[in-house]
A and B are shown apart, each in its own frame.
Chain A
Amino acid sequence: MTDPRRTSDRPTSACPMAETDAPRPAGRSRRQALAAFAAGAAATMLAPGVVLITGAAPGAARPPGTPASPAQRWGLLIELGHCADGCARCVEACQTEHGWHAGDHGAHDPHWIRLVSATDDTHGRTLNLPLMCQHCAAPPCRDVCPTHATFRRADGIVLVDRHRCIGCRYCVMACPFSARFFTPGALTDQRPHMPRGQGTAEGCTLCVHRIDQGQIPACVEACAAAGGGAMRFGDLADPDDPIRAALAELPTARLRPDLGLGTAVHYGDL
Protein backbone atom coordinates (compact mmCIF):
# COMPACT_ATOMS: atom_id res chain seq x y z
CA MET A 1 0.00 0.00 0.00
CA THR A 2 2.98 2.29 -0.50
CA ASP A 3 2.64 2.82 -4.20
CA PRO A 4 3.68 6.39 -5.02
CA ARG A 5 1.25 6.38 -7.95
CA ARG A 6 -1.63 6.27 -5.59
CA THR A 7 -2.94 9.65 -4.66
CA SER A 8 -0.54 12.54 -4.74
CA ASP A 9 -0.83 13.56 -8.38
CA ARG A 10 -4.55 13.20 -8.73
CA PRO A 11 -6.83 16.17 -9.19
CA THR A 12 -8.95 16.86 -6.15
CA SER A 13 -12.53 16.21 -6.97
CA ALA A 14 -15.26 18.62 -5.97
CA CYS A 15 -17.35 15.63 -4.95
CA PRO A 16 -17.34 14.54 -1.34
CA MET A 17 -16.70 10.98 -2.51
CA ALA A 18 -13.50 11.14 -4.53
CA GLU A 19 -11.91 8.12 -6.10
CA THR A 20 -8.37 8.21 -4.76
CA ASP A 21 -6.98 4.91 -5.79
CA ALA A 22 -7.58 4.16 -9.44
CA PRO A 23 -4.28 3.09 -11.00
CA ARG A 24 -5.36 4.32 -14.41
CA PRO A 25 -5.60 8.02 -15.23
CA ALA A 26 -9.29 8.01 -15.97
CA GLY A 27 -10.83 11.26 -17.17
CA ARG A 28 -11.87 13.70 -14.51
CA SER A 29 -15.48 13.81 -15.53
CA ARG A 30 -15.72 10.03 -15.54
CA ARG A 31 -14.27 9.80 -12.09
CA GLN A 32 -16.50 12.53 -10.75
CA ALA A 33 -19.62 10.95 -12.14
CA LEU A 34 -18.75 7.57 -10.70
CA ALA A 35 -18.04 9.18 -7.38
CA ALA A 36 -21.24 11.22 -7.48
CA PHE A 37 -23.21 8.06 -7.92
CA ALA A 38 -21.38 6.33 -5.10
CA ALA A 39 -22.04 9.32 -2.84
CA GLY A 40 -25.75 9.14 -3.51
CA ALA A 41 -25.88 5.48 -2.64
CA ALA A 42 -23.49 5.57 0.28
CA ALA A 43 -26.26 5.89 2.85
CA THR A 44 -27.78 2.48 2.08
CA MET A 45 -26.78 -0.07 4.68
CA LEU A 46 -27.05 -3.81 4.66
CA ALA A 47 -29.35 -5.18 7.35
CA PRO A 48 -27.24 -6.44 10.25
CA GLY A 49 -26.70 -10.16 10.30
CA VAL A 50 -27.29 -10.71 6.59
CA VAL A 51 -24.48 -12.92 5.33
CA LEU A 52 -24.25 -14.12 1.78
CA ILE A 53 -23.44 -17.71 1.02
CA THR A 54 -21.09 -17.84 -1.94
CA GLY A 55 -19.29 -20.44 -3.97
CA ALA A 56 -22.34 -22.38 -5.14
CA ALA A 57 -22.05 -23.80 -8.63
CA PRO A 58 -24.34 -22.08 -11.12
CA GLY A 59 -27.81 -23.53 -11.14
CA ALA A 60 -28.04 -24.53 -14.78
CA ALA A 61 -24.58 -25.52 -15.98
CA ARG A 62 -24.51 -26.31 -19.69
CA PRO A 63 -23.64 -29.82 -20.83
CA PRO A 64 -19.99 -29.83 -21.98
CA GLY A 65 -19.49 -29.09 -25.66
CA THR A 66 -22.73 -27.16 -26.09
CA PRO A 67 -22.63 -23.51 -27.16
CA ALA A 68 -23.21 -20.58 -24.81
CA SER A 69 -26.93 -20.06 -24.40
CA PRO A 70 -28.80 -16.76 -24.80
CA ALA A 71 -31.16 -18.02 -22.08
CA GLN A 72 -28.41 -17.29 -19.57
CA ARG A 73 -26.96 -14.01 -18.39
CA TRP A 74 -24.03 -14.44 -16.06
CA GLY A 75 -23.38 -11.78 -13.46
CA LEU A 76 -21.84 -10.99 -10.11
CA LEU A 77 -23.06 -9.56 -6.84
CA ILE A 78 -20.34 -8.05 -4.66
CA GLU A 79 -21.20 -7.10 -1.08
CA LEU A 80 -18.68 -4.37 -0.34
CA GLY A 81 -19.53 -4.48 3.34
CA HIS A 82 -18.01 -7.95 3.49
CA CYS A 83 -14.73 -6.93 1.87
CA ALA A 84 -12.16 -6.95 4.65
CA ASP A 85 -9.72 -4.06 4.86
CA GLY A 86 -6.56 -4.82 2.91
CA CYS A 87 -7.96 -8.01 1.40
CA ALA A 88 -6.93 -8.54 -2.22
CA ARG A 89 -7.60 -12.22 -2.62
CA CYS A 90 -9.84 -11.71 -5.64
CA VAL A 91 -7.03 -9.84 -7.41
CA GLU A 92 -4.44 -12.45 -6.48
CA ALA A 93 -6.73 -15.26 -7.62
CA CYS A 94 -7.28 -13.58 -10.98
CA GLN A 95 -3.54 -13.08 -11.47
CA THR A 96 -2.82 -16.71 -10.71
CA GLU A 97 -5.69 -17.98 -12.82
CA HIS A 98 -4.87 -15.92 -15.88
CA GLY A 99 -1.15 -15.24 -15.53
CA TRP A 100 -1.19 -11.45 -15.67
CA HIS A 101 1.09 -9.33 -13.53
CA ALA A 102 1.21 -5.69 -12.70
CA GLY A 103 4.67 -4.46 -13.61
CA ASP A 104 6.36 -1.10 -13.35
CA HIS A 105 4.26 0.82 -15.82
CA GLY A 106 1.46 1.96 -13.57
CA ALA A 107 -1.69 2.68 -15.51
CA HIS A 108 -0.37 0.84 -18.56
CA ASP A 109 -0.05 -2.48 -16.76
CA PRO A 110 -2.92 -4.95 -16.93
CA HIS A 111 -5.37 -4.87 -14.04
CA TRP A 112 -8.14 -7.26 -15.06
CA ILE A 113 -9.49 -6.72 -11.57
CA ARG A 114 -8.30 -3.98 -9.25
CA LEU A 115 -9.30 -2.48 -5.93
CA VAL A 116 -10.59 1.05 -6.12
CA SER A 117 -10.70 2.73 -2.78
CA ALA A 118 -12.95 5.72 -2.31
CA THR A 119 -13.34 7.78 0.84
CA ASP A 120 -16.22 10.06 1.66
CA ASP A 121 -14.60 13.00 3.45
CA THR A 122 -17.84 14.07 5.11
CA HIS A 123 -17.71 11.07 7.44
CA GLY A 124 -14.54 9.23 6.45
CA ARG A 125 -16.14 6.01 5.32
CA THR A 126 -13.89 4.19 2.85
CA LEU A 127 -14.98 1.71 0.22
CA ASN A 128 -12.70 -1.02 -1.08
CA LEU A 129 -14.34 -1.77 -4.41
CA PRO A 130 -13.19 -4.64 -6.65
CA LEU A 131 -13.58 -3.39 -10.21
CA MET A 132 -13.42 -5.60 -13.27
CA CYS A 133 -15.13 -5.67 -16.67
CA GLN A 134 -18.82 -5.15 -15.98
CA HIS A 135 -19.88 -7.30 -18.96
CA CYS A 136 -22.23 -4.63 -20.25
CA ALA A 137 -25.40 -5.55 -22.12
CA ALA A 138 -24.66 -2.66 -24.50
CA PRO A 139 -20.85 -2.56 -24.37
CA PRO A 140 -19.15 0.54 -25.81
CA CYS A 141 -15.97 -1.51 -26.28
CA ARG A 142 -17.86 -3.77 -28.66
CA ASP A 143 -19.47 -0.84 -30.45
CA VAL A 144 -16.16 0.81 -31.32
CA CYS A 145 -14.21 -2.33 -32.25
CA PRO A 146 -13.50 -2.11 -35.99
CA THR A 147 -12.83 -5.83 -36.47
CA HIS A 148 -15.55 -7.46 -34.34
CA ALA A 149 -12.73 -8.80 -32.17
CA THR A 150 -14.63 -7.55 -29.16
CA PHE A 151 -17.92 -9.37 -29.06
CA ARG A 152 -20.67 -10.30 -26.69
CA ARG A 153 -21.17 -14.01 -26.31
CA ALA A 154 -24.69 -15.43 -26.38
CA ASP A 155 -24.71 -15.61 -22.58
CA GLY A 156 -23.71 -11.95 -22.19
CA ILE A 157 -19.98 -12.35 -21.54
CA VAL A 158 -17.94 -9.68 -23.33
CA LEU A 159 -14.66 -11.03 -24.72
CA VAL A 160 -11.76 -10.13 -26.98
CA ASP A 161 -11.16 -12.58 -29.80
CA ARG A 162 -7.43 -11.95 -30.12
CA HIS A 163 -7.35 -13.67 -33.49
CA ARG A 164 -9.18 -10.67 -34.89
CA CYS A 165 -7.76 -7.92 -32.66
CA ILE A 166 -5.54 -5.47 -34.53
CA GLY A 167 -4.43 -3.64 -31.40
CA CYS A 168 -6.06 -0.33 -32.23
CA ARG A 169 -6.93 0.24 -28.55
CA TYR A 170 -10.29 1.84 -29.33
CA CYS A 171 -11.90 -0.43 -26.76
CA VAL A 172 -9.38 0.64 -24.12
CA MET A 173 -10.48 4.23 -24.68
CA ALA A 174 -14.19 3.42 -24.91
CA CYS A 175 -14.64 1.50 -21.67
CA PRO A 176 -16.09 3.82 -19.00
CA PHE A 177 -14.60 1.65 -16.26
CA SER A 178 -11.04 1.44 -17.58
CA ALA A 179 -11.44 -2.31 -17.63
CA ARG A 180 -9.66 -2.94 -20.93
CA PHE A 181 -5.88 -3.18 -21.27
CA PHE A 182 -3.37 -3.41 -24.03
CA THR A 183 -0.41 -5.78 -24.18
CA PRO A 184 2.51 -3.81 -25.59
CA GLY A 185 5.33 -6.36 -25.31
CA ALA A 186 6.03 -10.00 -26.04
CA LEU A 187 4.87 -12.48 -23.39
CA THR A 188 5.89 -16.02 -22.55
CA ASP A 189 4.63 -18.56 -20.05
CA GLN A 190 0.95 -17.83 -20.54
CA ARG A 191 -1.54 -20.15 -18.90
CA PRO A 192 -2.62 -22.83 -21.41
CA HIS A 193 -6.28 -21.80 -21.20
CA MET A 194 -5.57 -18.08 -21.41
CA PRO A 195 -3.57 -17.04 -24.47
CA ARG A 196 -2.35 -13.45 -24.16
CA GLY A 197 0.02 -11.66 -26.47
CA GLN A 198 1.66 -8.60 -27.87
CA GLY A 199 -0.51 -6.15 -29.73
CA THR A 200 -3.87 -7.34 -28.42
CA ALA A 201 -6.46 -6.02 -25.98
CA GLU A 202 -7.60 -7.93 -22.92
CA GLY A 203 -9.74 -7.79 -19.84
CA CYS A 204 -11.72 -9.88 -17.36
CA THR A 205 -13.32 -12.83 -19.17
CA LEU A 206 -15.66 -13.60 -16.27
CA CYS A 207 -13.55 -16.78 -16.22
CA VAL A 208 -15.36 -18.07 -19.24
CA HIS A 209 -13.17 -21.18 -19.37
CA ARG A 210 -14.41 -22.13 -15.93
CA ILE A 211 -18.05 -21.22 -16.58
CA ASP A 212 -18.04 -23.45 -19.65
CA GLN A 213 -17.08 -26.32 -17.36
CA GLY A 214 -19.72 -25.54 -14.74
CA GLN A 215 -17.29 -23.85 -12.35
CA ILE A 216 -17.51 -20.44 -10.74
CA PRO A 217 -15.01 -17.63 -11.47
CA ALA A 218 -11.65 -17.83 -9.73
CA CYS A 219 -12.10 -14.54 -7.82
CA VAL A 220 -15.47 -15.66 -6.43
CA GLU A 221 -14.04 -19.00 -5.39
CA ALA A 222 -11.03 -17.38 -3.69
CA CYS A 223 -13.24 -14.91 -1.84
CA ALA A 224 -15.46 -17.69 -0.54
CA ALA A 225 -12.48 -19.86 0.41
CA ALA A 226 -11.04 -16.98 2.42
CA GLY A 227 -14.28 -16.75 4.34
CA GLY A 228 -15.01 -13.29 2.98
CA GLY A 229 -18.23 -14.25 1.30
CA ALA A 230 -18.42 -10.91 -0.48
CA MET A 231 -18.77 -12.22 -4.03
CA ARG A 232 -21.59 -14.19 -5.55
CA PHE A 233 -21.81 -15.48 -9.10
CA GLY A 234 -24.95 -16.58 -10.86
CA ASP A 235 -27.38 -16.50 -13.76
CA LEU A 236 -29.21 -13.18 -13.65
CA ALA A 237 -31.75 -14.48 -16.17
CA ASP A 238 -32.78 -17.45 -14.04
CA PRO A 239 -35.52 -16.51 -11.54
CA ASP A 240 -34.60 -19.57 -9.47
CA ASP A 241 -30.91 -18.73 -9.21
CA PRO A 242 -29.97 -17.74 -5.63
CA ILE A 243 -28.38 -14.54 -6.98
CA ARG A 244 -31.83 -13.34 -8.00
CA ALA A 245 -33.20 -13.83 -4.49
CA ALA A 246 -30.21 -11.97 -3.07
CA LEU A 247 -30.69 -9.11 -5.51
CA ALA A 248 -34.37 -8.90 -4.61
CA GLU A 249 -33.62 -8.85 -0.91
CA LEU A 250 -30.53 -6.65 -0.59
CA PRO A 251 -30.05 -3.00 -1.41
CA THR A 252 -27.74 -3.12 -4.39
CA ALA A 253 -26.69 -0.75 -7.14
CA ARG A 254 -24.69 -0.80 -10.33
CA LEU A 255 -21.96 1.57 -11.44
CA ARG A 256 -22.90 4.44 -13.73
CA PRO A 257 -26.53 3.46 -14.36
CA ASP A 258 -26.88 6.82 -16.12
CA LEU A 259 -24.96 5.39 -19.07
CA GLY A 260 -27.57 2.72 -19.64
CA LEU A 261 -25.00 0.01 -20.32
CA GLY A 262 -26.84 -2.78 -18.50
CA THR A 263 -23.83 -3.87 -16.47
CA ALA A 264 -23.86 -7.38 -15.03
CA VAL A 265 -21.95 -6.62 -11.83
CA HIS A 266 -24.13 -5.55 -8.92
CA TYR A 267 -22.69 -3.98 -5.79
CA GLY A 268 -24.10 -4.03 -2.29
CA ASP A 269 -23.19 -1.36 0.29
CA LEU A 270 -22.08 1.02 -2.43
Chain B
Amino acid sequence: MSAPPPIGPRALMGRSARAPLLAGLAVLAVTWILLWAGQAAPELPDTAAAAETGSCVLPGPEMRVRHMDVLFEVRDEVVRDGRRNAEWALHGCIECHAVADAAGVPVGHDDPRHFCRSCHDQTAVAADCFSCHRATPETADGHTVAHHPAGRAHSGDAL
Protein backbone atom coordinates (compact mmCIF):
# COMPACT_ATOMS: atom_id res chain seq x y z
CA MET B 1 0.00 0.00 0.00
CA SER B 2 1.25 3.43 -0.83
CA ALA B 3 1.17 6.27 1.71
CA PRO B 4 -1.98 8.42 1.61
CA PRO B 5 -1.53 11.61 -0.38
CA PRO B 6 -0.78 14.70 1.70
CA ILE B 7 -3.65 17.10 2.14
CA GLY B 8 -3.95 20.84 2.65
CA PRO B 9 -0.98 23.20 2.50
CA ARG B 10 1.37 20.25 3.10
CA ALA B 11 0.53 18.99 -0.38
CA LEU B 12 2.07 22.15 -1.79
CA MET B 13 5.21 21.67 0.25
CA GLY B 14 6.29 18.44 -1.38
CA ARG B 15 9.83 18.50 -2.80
CA SER B 16 8.60 18.72 -6.38
CA ALA B 17 5.99 21.40 -5.66
CA ARG B 18 8.14 23.71 -3.57
CA ALA B 19 10.11 25.44 -6.36
CA PRO B 20 7.09 26.53 -8.42
CA LEU B 21 5.40 27.71 -5.23
CA LEU B 22 8.35 29.89 -4.24
CA ALA B 23 8.59 31.29 -7.75
CA GLY B 24 4.89 32.10 -7.68
CA LEU B 25 5.23 33.85 -4.32
CA ALA B 26 8.13 35.91 -5.62
CA VAL B 27 6.08 37.05 -8.61
CA LEU B 28 3.20 37.96 -6.31
CA ALA B 29 5.48 39.93 -4.03
CA VAL B 30 6.95 41.93 -6.91
CA THR B 31 3.50 42.63 -8.33
CA TRP B 32 2.36 43.78 -4.91
CA ILE B 33 5.32 46.12 -4.48
CA LEU B 34 4.79 47.59 -7.95
CA LEU B 35 1.10 48.08 -7.27
CA TRP B 36 1.76 49.88 -4.04
CA ALA B 37 4.76 51.90 -5.16
CA GLY B 38 3.99 55.58 -4.96
CA GLN B 39 1.40 55.16 -2.24
CA ALA B 40 2.35 56.40 1.19
CA ALA B 41 2.67 53.70 3.84
CA PRO B 42 -0.26 53.89 6.24
CA GLU B 43 0.47 55.68 9.49
CA LEU B 44 -1.13 55.52 12.90
CA PRO B 45 -2.95 58.85 13.45
CA ASP B 46 -1.39 61.13 16.07
CA THR B 47 -3.49 61.62 19.17
CA ALA B 48 -3.03 63.82 22.18
CA ALA B 49 -3.30 60.89 24.57
CA ALA B 50 -0.57 58.95 22.75
CA ALA B 51 1.68 62.02 22.67
CA GLU B 52 1.14 62.52 26.38
CA THR B 53 1.92 58.90 27.23
CA GLY B 54 4.99 59.11 25.01
CA SER B 55 5.71 55.40 24.73
CA CYS B 56 3.86 52.28 23.72
CA VAL B 57 4.11 48.85 25.38
CA LEU B 58 6.55 47.93 22.58
CA PRO B 59 8.56 50.12 20.16
CA GLY B 60 6.43 51.32 17.23
CA PRO B 61 8.05 49.26 14.47
CA GLU B 62 7.65 46.14 16.58
CA MET B 63 4.00 46.88 17.31
CA ARG B 64 3.42 47.43 13.60
CA VAL B 65 4.56 43.89 12.86
CA ARG B 66 3.61 42.02 16.02
CA HIS B 67 0.53 43.68 17.53
CA MET B 68 -1.71 40.75 16.70
CA ASP B 69 0.74 38.25 18.22
CA VAL B 70 0.72 40.36 21.35
CA LEU B 71 -3.06 40.61 21.41
CA PHE B 72 -3.51 36.87 20.91
CA GLU B 73 -1.11 36.09 23.73
CA VAL B 74 -2.72 38.57 26.11
CA ARG B 75 -6.15 37.29 25.11
CA ASP B 76 -5.37 33.73 26.19
CA GLU B 77 -3.63 34.84 29.37
CA VAL B 78 -6.59 36.93 30.45
CA VAL B 79 -9.56 34.86 29.31
CA ARG B 80 -8.32 31.32 29.84
CA ASP B 81 -5.84 31.77 32.71
CA GLY B 82 -7.15 34.84 34.53
CA ARG B 83 -3.81 36.66 34.35
CA ARG B 84 -4.81 40.29 34.04
CA ASN B 85 -2.32 43.04 33.36
CA ALA B 86 -3.89 46.41 32.65
CA GLU B 87 -0.78 47.61 30.83
CA TRP B 88 -1.37 45.12 28.01
CA ALA B 89 -5.15 45.37 27.80
CA LEU B 90 -6.66 46.04 24.38
CA HIS B 91 -8.65 48.85 25.90
CA GLY B 92 -5.39 50.58 26.73
CA CYS B 93 -4.66 50.79 22.98
CA ILE B 94 -8.07 52.35 22.46
CA GLU B 95 -7.71 54.88 25.27
CA CYS B 96 -4.46 56.12 23.77
CA HIS B 97 -5.12 55.96 20.03
CA ALA B 98 -8.83 56.81 19.75
CA VAL B 99 -9.41 59.40 17.00
CA ALA B 100 -12.04 62.06 17.65
CA ASP B 101 -14.23 63.67 15.01
CA ALA B 102 -14.66 67.42 14.56
CA ALA B 103 -17.02 67.55 17.53
CA GLY B 104 -14.47 65.79 19.74
CA VAL B 105 -16.41 62.53 19.90
CA PRO B 106 -14.27 59.40 19.41
CA VAL B 107 -15.17 57.62 16.18
CA GLY B 108 -16.18 53.97 16.15
CA HIS B 109 -14.77 51.23 13.95
CA ASP B 110 -17.53 51.88 11.41
CA ASP B 111 -15.68 55.12 10.61
CA PRO B 112 -12.60 54.87 8.33
CA ARG B 113 -10.78 57.33 10.60
CA HIS B 114 -10.70 54.75 13.42
CA PHE B 115 -7.03 54.13 14.20
CA CYS B 116 -7.18 50.42 13.39
CA ARG B 117 -8.76 51.10 10.04
CA SER B 118 -6.12 53.67 9.14
CA CYS B 119 -3.88 50.69 8.26
CA HIS B 120 -6.26 47.77 8.01
CA ASP B 121 -8.29 49.34 5.21
CA GLN B 122 -5.21 49.77 3.07
CA THR B 123 -4.01 46.24 3.68
CA ALA B 124 -7.52 44.82 3.22
CA VAL B 125 -7.40 42.98 6.53
CA ALA B 126 -10.67 43.09 8.44
CA ALA B 127 -10.31 43.82 12.16
CA ASP B 128 -13.29 41.98 13.62
CA CYS B 129 -12.25 42.52 17.24
CA PHE B 130 -14.89 45.23 17.48
CA SER B 131 -17.86 43.04 16.82
CA CYS B 132 -17.45 42.27 20.54
CA HIS B 133 -14.87 44.68 21.96
CA ARG B 134 -15.69 48.30 22.51
CA ALA B 135 -13.94 50.41 19.85
CA THR B 136 -14.00 53.73 21.72
CA PRO B 137 -13.10 54.94 25.21
CA GLU B 138 -15.96 54.68 27.64
CA THR B 139 -17.95 57.78 28.55
CA ALA B 140 -16.83 59.62 31.66
CA ASP B 141 -19.76 58.50 33.80
CA GLY B 142 -18.91 54.87 33.13
CA HIS B 143 -22.42 54.11 31.93
CA THR B 144 -23.36 52.92 28.51
CA VAL B 145 -27.02 52.10 29.03
CA ALA B 146 -28.30 55.50 27.94
CA HIS B 147 -26.49 55.22 24.60
CA HIS B 148 -27.87 51.85 23.74
CA PRO B 149 -30.93 51.78 21.47
CA ALA B 150 -32.44 49.17 23.76
CA GLY B 151 -31.40 51.18 26.82
CA ARG B 152 -34.22 51.57 29.28
CA ALA B 153 -34.89 52.14 32.91
CA HIS B 154 -33.90 49.20 35.07
CA SER B 155 -37.29 48.06 36.18
CA GLY B 156 -38.78 44.86 37.44
CA ASP B 157 -40.75 44.20 34.29
CA ALA B 158 -37.56 43.91 32.28
CA LEU B 159 -36.22 41.00 34.28
B94 contacts across to A, CB distance below 8 A: 192
| Residues 183-204 of chain A, each 1 if its beta carbon lies under 8 Å from chain B, else 0 | 0001111111101111110000
Cβ–Cβ contact A68 & B82, under 8 A: yes
Cβ–Cβ contact B132 & A190, under 8 A: yes
Asked if B43 lies at the interface with its beta carbon under 8 angstroms from chain A, I say no
Distance in Å: Cβ of B144 to nearest Cβ of chain A? 4
Chain B interface main SS type = loop
Asked if B83 lies at the interface with its beta carbon under 8 angstroms from chain A, I say yes
Find A190's partner among B75, B134, B152, B156 (CB 8 Å cutoff).
B134
Taking residues whose C-beta sits less than 8 angstroms from the other chain, chain B's interface range is: 20 to 34
Distance in Å: Cβ of B134 to nearest Cβ of chain A? 5
Cβ–Cβ contact A192 & B84, under 8 A: no
Cβ–Cβ contact B82 & A67, under 8 A: yes
Within 8 A of A (CB), among B66-111: 75, 77, 79-85, 91, 94, 108
| Residues 124-159 of chain B, each 1 if its beta carbon lies under 8 Å from chain A, else 0 | 000000011110011000011101101110101111
Stretch at the interface among A51-59, A149-157, A231-239, A255-263: A149-157
A191 contacts across to B, CB distance below 8 A: 134, 138, 144
Taking residues whose C-beta sits less than 8 angstroms from the other chain, chain A's interface range is: 35 or more
Asked if A82 lies at the interface with its beta carbon under 8 angstroms from chain B, I say no
Asked if A241 lies at the interface with its beta carbon under 8 angstroms from chain B, I say no
Stretch at the interface among A35-43, A94-102, A173-181, A242-250: A94-102
Measured CA separation A15–B139 after assembly (Å): 49
Distance in Å: Cβ of A107 to nearest Cβ of chain B? 12
B154 contacts across to A, CB distance below 8 A: 88, 91-92, 95-96
Find A212's partner among B82, B151, B158 (CB 8 Å cutoff).
B82
| Residues 45-70 of chain A, each 1 if its beta carbon lies under 8 Å from chain B, else 0 | 00000000000000000101111100
Cβ–Cβ contact A1 & B138, under 8 A: no
Distance in Å: Cβ of B132 to nearest Cβ of chain A? 3
Cβ–Cβ contact B134 & A151, under 8 A: no
Cβ–Cβ contact B134 & A101, under 8 A: no
Asked if A103 lies at the interface with its beta carbon under 8 angstroms from chain B, I say yes
Cβ–Cβ contact A65 & B84, under 8 A: yes
Measured CA separation A209–B84 after assembly (Å): 8
| Residues 134-175 of chain A, each 1 if its beta carbon lies under 8 Å from chain B, else 0 | 000000000000000001011100010111000000000000
Of chain A, the residue at the smallest CB distance from B157 is A3
Find B81's partner among A67, A88, A198 (CB 8 Å cutoff).
A67
Measured CA separation A159–B82 after assembly (Å): 11
Asked if A114 lies at the interface with its beta carbon under 8 angstroms from chain B, I say yes
Distance in Å: Cβ of A8 to nearest Cβ of chain B? 14
Asked if A2 lies at the interface with its beta carbon under 8 angstroms from chain B, I say yes
Within 8 A of B (CB), among A94-119: 95-96, 99, 101-104, 111, 114-115
Find B79's partner among A154, A159, A187, A192 (CB 8 Å cutoff).
A159
Find B148's partner among A153, A154, A189 (CB 8 Å cutoff).
A189
Distance in Å: Cβ of A88 to nearest Cβ of chain B? 5
Contact A161:B80 (CB < 8 A) given known A2-B157, A115-B159: yes
Distance in Å: Cβ of B51 to nearest Cβ of chain A? 22
B158 contacts across to A, CB distance below 8 A: 3, 101-102
Of chain B, the residue at the smallest CB distance from A116 is B159
Interface pairs A-B: 5 shortest CB-CB? A197-B132, A68-B82, A195-B132, A102-B158, A189-B144
Q: List 26 A-B contacts (CB under 8 A).
A: A62-B82, A65-B83, A65-B84, A91-B159, A92-B154, A96-B145, A99-B145, A99-B148, A101-B148, A101-B151, A102-B158, A102-B159, A103-B150, A151-B80, A154-B82, A159-B79, A188-B134, A190-B134, A191-B134, A192-B91, A192-B138, A195-B132, A196-B132, A197-B133, A208-B82, A212-B84
